[in-house]
Amino acid sequence: MSFMLGITPWPVASAILWIILIVAALYLIRSTAHKTIHAAARGLHRSFKIASKAVSRSEKRLAARNRDVLLAAGREAKERILEREFDRINETVRKDLANYSALHRKLSESIGRIEKDHQEAVDVPPDPPGWVKAVEAVAKMSAQEDRFSVGNILSDIHKSLLRAHKEAMAAYHEASAKRHKLLRHMRPDWRQIQQKLAAVGKSVDSLLDRSITIDRLMQEYEDIVHGQDRAISVLSSSSLVNFFVSAFVLCIAIGGATINFSLIARPMAEMVGGTSLIGNFRTADIAALVIILVEISMGLFLMESLRITRLFPVIGALPDKTRVRMIWITFSILFLLASVEAGLAYMREVLLHDELATSALLRGDAGATATGEYMWITTAAQMGMGFILPFALTFVAIPLETFVHSLRTVIGLIAISLMRALSLMLRLLGNVFLYLGVLLKQVYDLPLFVPLWLEERMTRGAEDDGLLGRVGQ
Amino acid sequence: MKHAILTTLCVLLAACGSETKPRNTGVFMLVDTSGTYTEELTKAEQIIRYTLSRLDATDSFAVARIDTGSFSEKDIVAKTSFDDRPSAVNRQKRLFAQQVNEFVTNADPSPYTDITGGLLQAVEFLNEKGTGKKTILIFSDLKEDLEAGYIRDFDVELGGFEVIALNVTKLRSDNIDPREYLARLEEWQGRVEKTGGQWRVINDLDGLEGLL
């Protein structure tokens, strides 16, 4: 600094001289400096723009892939639902309509019986009364005939009429009773027909309902197949919901597995030793963890063999006989492991009591070792938990499958969002550098305001002179 | 790819082959039975029980008395190396406590006090067990009183050992001249630290939390 200020005997003069020299130098290289700043800014701007475009392209590719994955998953899910609906329809048809011939026969028989009863119940016209012929015979008699004999004849006719009327009434009552009896016989047939028809109607209604559901599902399936935006939006949101719900259920399952672990880790030390280590972990802990993981694996295979989940296509594609065998094998292993766990849970309680008794003895407090009357409840509860938890963990397969499937989509969505943000940031940075170049040029010109002002004045003066010259000519 | 697999295998083999330092603890407790110090044996029993409660599977523990000639296996009252299984450890602890109780009930006072011999016996026992941590507890007033003819004026190698003096009671002469008591403690500290051992004194038996 002293050197710089010492180039003349007066420091102020030296400083002014230096300023003039620097300003002059800056003014001389102004054009080159501006070009350099401009080139650097443009270069950075373009680089960031290219990078932004590249990220944007990747994002679009990823979005397209995610869309394909989403559609494929949605298509598969819809196919499963449709398949299930068709299975149900098939089941309904098989169960209800397969018996249609038997039903038809029953209905025909019932109708036949009704027809027969109806025929028999038809009102029989009464026989013409016998006294009509007697009246005709009386009418043909001559007037000369004895009036006495006519009176006798009429008396007989009266008697006959009374008798005939009595008999006719009895016959009529008998026939009516018979008809009523026949009509009474028809009632159960009518009821049976009504019930059968109601059942058929119910089945048909159920089929109609299912057909409506299938129509809706088919419409959704078609939307998915055609890759419509609405379908994508629905699938995306349902995928997110599935992800969070399955993650929540998996967290619960992890809690269950942790409790299971604490139940068997301590007694496991009796089997594999309490102090041996694998790495930094106790062998007993690792053994307990392995047992739990094997149980979860068996649960997965069981669910897969039952075709409840579809994580391993190989198992799903096995022949039915092999699959059923696999169901029994996995269930047996699971049952054995659950029994082992129940035993270990019991052992845990025994060890705990033993340890408490030893501690009390060492403390000189032997009275504290007395166990409560109801301690068996805790033991039984622990054994029950040890037995049930492995089976409960079997159902982890269902949320796990959902989690795995939805995870792909969710990761894709997160990656798309990140790439979109990155692309935006790169674009912003590119623009920042562009305007930074402009700003730097302005800042560069700031100390050069004097020569620039002079330059402007001179240019304007030259322009004015030229104008005056052109006017003078 | 082959290189990567080979490297991984080598690393795994090296990890398997490397010797790991034992993490178990070995404790040898010397109990002074000389003169009137036998009256303090109930306190020693408490300490032994506390030590038992703190020890775990694969640890080793021995209790020996300090008498006229303590460098002898006959002076070991009870000794055990705990099993790997928790249930067996509990059984061993109970048996050990029972043996110590019998010793405390039937202990006879000895005319002389050979602390150095006991220390040597402790070092031999713990070195033989090869435990990761080695602790010697001396339940004594630290007043060594050797019978004529016993040679104990040599250094005992205590590198890697922690020696803890417990219940170092003051003698009547210490009350007259406390410098004797301090000199006794200083002498033992010097002997232990001279050969690389660590020295501690715990007189407050209510605060045994930091014992092991």
Whether A123 and A239 map to the same domain: the answer is: no
Has residue B19 got a pLDDT over 60?
no
A169 plus A295 within the same structural domain: no
The distance of A408 to chain B (nearest Cα, Å) reads 29
Chain A residues in contact with B58 (beta carbon < 8 A): 275
Tens of pLDDT, residues A25-74: 999 999 999 999 999 999 999 999 999 999 999 999 998 888 888 888 88
Is the torsion defined by CA of A57, A59, A63, A69 positive or negative?
positive
Kindly state whether residue A150 falls inside one of the protein's structural domains.
Answer: yes
Does residue A308 fall inside a structural domain? yes
B154 compared with A329, residue with greater pLDDT: A329
DSSP secondary structure letters along A215-282: HHHHHHHHHHHTT-HHHHHHHHHHHHHHHHHHHHHHHHHHHHHHHHHHHHHHHHHHHH-SS-EETTEE
Segments forming the whole domain that contains residue A342? 229-395
Given an 8 Å threshold on Cβ–Cβ distance, is A358 in contact with B85?
no
Instruction: Name the region of A399 (left: φ>0; alpha: ψ -120 to 50; beta: rest).
Output: alpha
What is the structure's pLDDT at A398?
A: 92
Interfacial A residues in 263-292 facing B (CB < 8 Å): 266, 269-270, 273-277
A318 found inside a domain: yes
* A276 interaction partners in chain B (CB closer than 8 Å): 84
Over 50: is that where the pLDDT of B2 sits?
A: no
Q: A168 and A257 share a domain?
A: no
Residues A267 and A380 in one domain: yes
Cβ distance of A274 and B84 shorter than 8 Å = yes
Kindly indicate whether the ipTM for this predicted assembly is greater than 0.95, answering yes or no: no
**Is residue A425 packed enough to be buried (19+ CB in 10 Å), middle (13-18) or exposed (0-12)?**
middle
Angle in degrees, 0-180, between the axes of helices A147-225 and A229-272, rounded to the nearest 10 = 80
- Cα end-to-end distance, chain B, whole Å: 50
> Last residue of a domain, which of A352, A379, A395?
A395
Mean pLDDT of A428-445: 93
Q: Are residues A237 and A189 in the same domain?
A: no
Averaged pLDDT of chain B: 84
Average pLDDT estimate for A140-157: 68
Query: What residues of chain A lie within 8 A of the CB of B93, using their CB?
Result: 358, 362
Instruction: Answer whether residue A137 is part of any domain.
Output: yes
Is there a contact between B89 and A274 if contact means CB atoms under 8 Å apart?
Answer: yes
Query: Which residue in B has a C-alpha nearest to residue A363's C-alpha?
Result: B49
Same structural domain for residues A268 and A389?
Answer: yes
B28 phi/psi in degrees, rounded to 5: -125, 120
Distances (CA, A) of A192 to A95, A103, A198, B154: 19, 11, 10, 115
Interface test with B, best of A264, A361, A369 (most B CBs within 10 A): A361
For residue A319, give Cα distances in angstroms to A172, A299, A311, A326, B180: 74, 20, 17, 11, 92
Cβ-proximal residues to A316 (8 Å cutoff; 6+ apart), any chain: A304, A307, A310
Is B3 a residue whose pLDDT tops 70?
Answer: no
Mean of pLDDT values over B80-103: 91
- Residue A181 falls inside a structural domain: yes
Please provide residue A282's backbone torsions phi and psi, each rounded to the nearest 5 degrees: -70, 140
Q: Taking a C-beta distance cutoff of 8 angstroms, is the pair A362, B52 a contact? A: yes
A183 with A233, same domain: the answer is no
Considering the domain architecture, whether residues A176 and A253 belong to the same structural domain is answered as no
Give the CA count within 13 Å in the CB-facing half-sphere of A7: 12
Structural domain contains residue A144: yes
Q: What is the pTM of this model?
A: 0.64
Question: What is residue A308's three-state secondary structure?
Answer: coil
pLDDT at B70: 83
More confident residue, A389 or B171: A389
- Checking if the pLDDT of A366 tops 70, the result is no
Nearest to B97 among A270, A355, A361 (CB): A361
Taking CB atoms and an 8 Å limit, are B97 and A354 in contact across chains? no
Q: Is B49 within 8 Å of chain A by CB?
A: yes
Distance CA B12, CA B151 (A): 52
| DSSP structure string for A57-92 | HHHHHHHHHHHHHHHHHHHHHHHHHHHHHHHHHHHH
Specify the pLDDT at position A100.
74
Query: Based on the structure, what is the number of domains in chain A?
Result: 2
Mutation target to probe the A interface, by most A beta carbons within 10 A, among B58, B84, B101 is B84
The secondary structure of B5-31 as a DSSP string is HHHHHHHHHHHHHSPPPP--EEEEEEE
A264 plus A363 within the same structural domain: yes
Q: Are residues A156 and A301 in the same domain?
A: no
Q: Does A374 fall in a domain?
A: yes
Query: What is the reported pLDDT for A42?
Result: 93
The answer to whether A358 contacts chain B (CB < 8 Å) is: yes
- Domain C-terminal end among A351, A366, A395: A395
**Final residue in a domain of this structure, among A346, A374, A395:** A395
Cβ of A273 within 8 Å of Cβ of B84? The answer is: yes
Instruction: Look over chain A and give the mean of its residue pLDDT values, rounded to a whole number.
Output: 84
- Does one domain contain both A257 and A307? yes
Q: Is residue A3 one of the residues assigned to a domain?
A: no
Highest mean pLDDT: which range of A96-100, A268-272, A328-332: A328-332
Q: What is the pLDDT of residues B33-66, one digit of tens each?
A: 887 777 788 889 989 999 998 898 889 999 999 9
**Same structural domain for residues A166 and A314?**
no
The full set of domains in chain B, from first to last, is 24-202 (3.40.50.410)
Distances (CA, A) of A303 to A234, A341, B10: 28, 21, 40
Q: Name every chain A residue with its beta carbon within 8 A of the beta carbon of B50.
A: 362
Query: What are the pLDDT digits (tens) for A222-252?
Result: 888 887 878 888 888 888 898 999 999 999 9
CA of A389, closest CA in chain B: separation in Å?
Answer: 25
Percentage above 90 pLDDT, chain A: 31
